[in-house]
Amino acid sequence: MKTVVIIGGGITGLSAMYELKKWKITNKTDVRLILLEASEQLGGKICTVKQDDFVMEAGADSIVARKMETMSVIEELGLENEVVYNTTGRSFIYSDGELKPIPDETVFGIPTSIESLAKSTLVSAEGKVEALKDFYTKNETFTKNDSVGAFLEHFLGTELVEKQIAPVLSGVYSGKLSDLTIASTLPYLIDYKETYGSIIKGFEANKEKFKGGERKFLSFKNGLGSLIDAYESQLDETEIFKNTKVDKIEKAGSRYHLILNNQEIIEADFVMLSIPHTAAEGLIDDPELRSEFSNLKNSSLISVYLGFEVPDTILPADGTGFITANTDELSCNACTWTSRKWEHTSASGNLLVRLFYKSSHPAFASLKEMSKDDLLETALKDIYKSLGISAQPVASEITNWAGQMPNYLISHPKSVEALEGKIAADYPGIILAGCSYYGVGIPDCIENGIESARKIVELF
Ligand code: FAD
């Protein structure tokens, strides 16, 4: 009998295992399906924590709702009645000691009309005049492979980009705008400039496309952990081992020996590595392979939740959170007013906020060395400064995702291709899957899990 082992029980590994289990049953295939997970629970970066009345997500907090394939997975798992959607509201930018609303009629902070630019409280009169050059300057040199930051600054001016666009856009695409290409962020910018002569006019003409609608993101009544529990409950006909870390993989003829942390050895014909690349790179003793893995990059993030015995109505009406514009003012990059955005996260209606501390922030170097108590103090200072709340929290949750956030740099597709080539040539039967390579969003991971399972089926 052949054995398939999936290493890593995050959403990618679970989605892959579910697909393999269906195939095993439908085709009455004689196969052993094993999933090995290092930690005591499944889910990886999906991890719901409950304290008092609060529901907190230590990792991912929601799923983008427009991907319809995800909806069919949710229905298949019987979770459709559990689905909840976010309340949409206004986002702010914390700048010069104040919360300033991101103006109406903007996409990623980019004005989609001249009125929106005129009304902005984030940009000075000079900054607004500078932005008008968008209407009369032509694009002569920029291509999609140029930096999106340089492109936007060239046509919309430095101040609008620094104060209104960069805080939003670099948060969404996790990186400095100078390091991100137009192609990997907003590829249509070049076409807008070409077709309409102006970025602002381009957005104005295409406004409908950017209307998010009321329901942009979804979660579940009891948190995203429901998705993990639902997969786990469906994985009969498979063997799941938690607290089981794979330390090494060795070639044994046409099979592989997986050496576990308890020194046991599992023999496998096919192995799926649905673990972060930083965990995968040490498993096989092959310097060439390790060097291919090292071309992939990642960054860090610390998430801090604070729950207060204070009604969340004390925050600005219809607000859902803020982004920090100037890194010398606050240590956090952003703060979500979770109880505002997600009703299910606070049964009492008390305030729950989540602060994000990213490695791109100059303060991060000292934060990453801090104890949880000191991190809590830092978060409370940020909350006092930005929201004026001095109450002590009744609940808190701190998770350090050190080196766990994949960064898809310009070189990413080439690095993944080279890695795949090396593995296919030297380690047949081993395949890579998951957020380090094929997309970080939960829908991408679910889809990649399904595709990776099908790749293994083809190898049978
Ligand atoms: P992981 O979740 O990393 O799972 C890998 C698993 O492998 C882990 O359980 C780990 O314990 C295990 N493992 C590692 N090494 C070994 C080993 N040697 N042996 C056995 N097991 C091992 N996405 C969204 O769509 N929406 C969001 O709102 C969102 N927010 C996020 C917020 C944060 C703070 C983070 C960290 C991520 C967020 N993401 C979000 C991204 C998304 O959560 C991840 O990309 C996705 O969950 C990754 O799933 P995965 O299965 O590929 O990897």
Read off the pLDDT of residues 169-209 as tens digits, 9 standing for 90 and up.
988 887 789 888 898 889 999 999 999 999 999 999 998 88
What is the CB < 6 Å shell around ligand 1? 7-13, 36-39, 44-46, 59-63, 245-246, 274-276, 279, 301, 303, 401, 404-405, 434-435, 440-442, 445
Ligand 1 atom 32, closest CA: 60
CATH code of 2-44+226-296+408-459, in short, is: 3.50.50.60
Q: Estimate the crossing angle of helix 11-26 against helix 225-233, to 10 degrees.
A: 30
> Which pair of structure tokens corresponds to residue 7?
């290493």
CATH of domain 102-210: 1.10.3110.10
Which residues 6+ apart lie within 8 Å of 44 measured at CB?
A: 8, 9, 10, 11, 13, 59
Nearest CA to ligand 1 atom 12: 8
pLDDT digit of tens for each residue in the chain (460 aa)? Answer: 999 999 999 999 999 999 999 999 999 999 999 999 999 999 999 999 999 899 999 999 999 887 778 899 999 999 999 999 999 888 999 999 999 999 989 999 999 999 999 999 999 999 999 999 999 999 999 999 899 999 999 999 999 999 999 999 988 887 789 888 898 889 999 999 999 999 999 999 998 888 755 558 999 999 999 999 999 999 999 999 999 999 999 999 999 999 999 999 999 999 999 999 999 999 999 999 999 999 999 999 999 999 999 998 999 888 999 999 878 899 999 999 999 999 999 999 999 999 999 998 999 999 999 999 999 999 999 999 999 999 999 999 999 999 999 988 778 889 999 999 999 999 999 999 999 999 999 999 999 999 999 999 999 8
- Pairing relation of β-strands 90-95 and 63-64? unpaired
pTM of the model: 0.92
Q: Return the residue whose CA atom lies nearest to atom 4 of ligand 1.
A: 10
User: Closest ligand 1 atom, CA of 405?
Assistant: 36
Nearest CA to ligand 1 atom 39: 60
Q: Ligand 1, residues 6, 15, 45: which to mutate, most atoms within 8 A of Cβ?
A: 45
CA–CA separation, 33 and 460 (whole Å): 13
User: Ligand 1: distance of its center to the CA of 264 in Å?
Assistant: 25
Who contacts 241 (Cβ-Cβ below 8 Å, separation ≥6)? 34, 35, 36, 37
* Distance (Å) from CA 141 to ligand 1 centroid: 39
Q: Return the SS3 of 161.
A: helix
CA of 31 to the centre of ligand 1 (A): 27
- From the CA of 303, give the closest atom in ligand 1: 34
Atom of ligand 1 nearest to the CA of 401: 36
Q: What spacing in Å lies between the alpha carbon of 10 and ligand 1's midpoint? A: 6
Read off the tokens for 103. Answer: 């103006």
Long-range contacts of 277-285 (CB under 8 A, 24+ apart): 277/406, 277/436, 277/437, 278/403, 278/404, 278/436, 279/8, 280/432, 280/436, 283/7, 283/246, 283/247, 283/248, 283/249, 284/248, 284/249, 284/250, 284/427, 285/248, 285/250
Question: 137-141: long-range contacts at Cβ-Cβ below 8 A with a sequence spacing of 24 or more?
Answer: 138/193, 138/197, 139/190, 139/193, 139/194
Pocket test for ligand 1, best of 440, 446, 451 (most atoms within 8 A of CB): 440
How far apart (Å, rounded) are the C-alpha atoms in residues 305 and 310? 15
Cα 163 to averaged position of ligand 1 atoms, centre (Å): 32
Q: Rounded to the nearest whole angstrom, what is the distance from the C-alpha of residue 440 to the centroid of ligand 1?
A: 8
Nearest ligand 1 atom to alpha carbon 436: 52
Q: Whose CA is closest to atom 24 on ligand 1?
A: 441
Tell me whether residue 270 is exposed, middle or buried, using C-beta atoms within 10 angstroms of its C-beta: 0 to 12, 13 to 18, 19 or more. Answer: buried
Q: What is the DSSP letter of 68?
A: H
Q: Atom of ligand 1 at shortest distance to CA of 36?
A: 20
CA dist 302 → 203, 325, 378, 401 (Å): 34, 18, 12, 6
Classify the C-alpha dihedral 117-123-124-126 as positive or negative: negative
What tens digit of pLDDT does each residue of 37-67 get?
999 999 999 999 999 899 999 999 999 887 7
Instruction: Identify the pLDDT of residue 215.
Output: 55
Domain layout of the chain by residue ranges? 2-44+226-296+408-459, 102-210
Q: Per the structure block, which two tokens stand in for 49?
A: 């924590």
CA geometry: angle at 354 spanning 160 and 358, to 5°?
A: 60
Measure 287 CA to ligand 1 centroid, in angstroms: 26
Other CB atoms within a 10 A radius of the CB of residue 355 amount to: 26
Ligand 1, atom 40: closest residue by C-alpha: 60
**H-type alpha helices, 274-335:** 277-280, 287-293
Give the model confidence (pLDDT) of 100-158 as tens digits. 999 989 999 999 999 999 999 999 999 999 999 999 999 999 999 899 999 999 999 99
Cα–Cα distance measured from residue 411 to residue 16, given in angstroms and rounded to the nearest whole number: 27
Write the residue with the smallest CA distance to atom 47 of ligand 1: 45
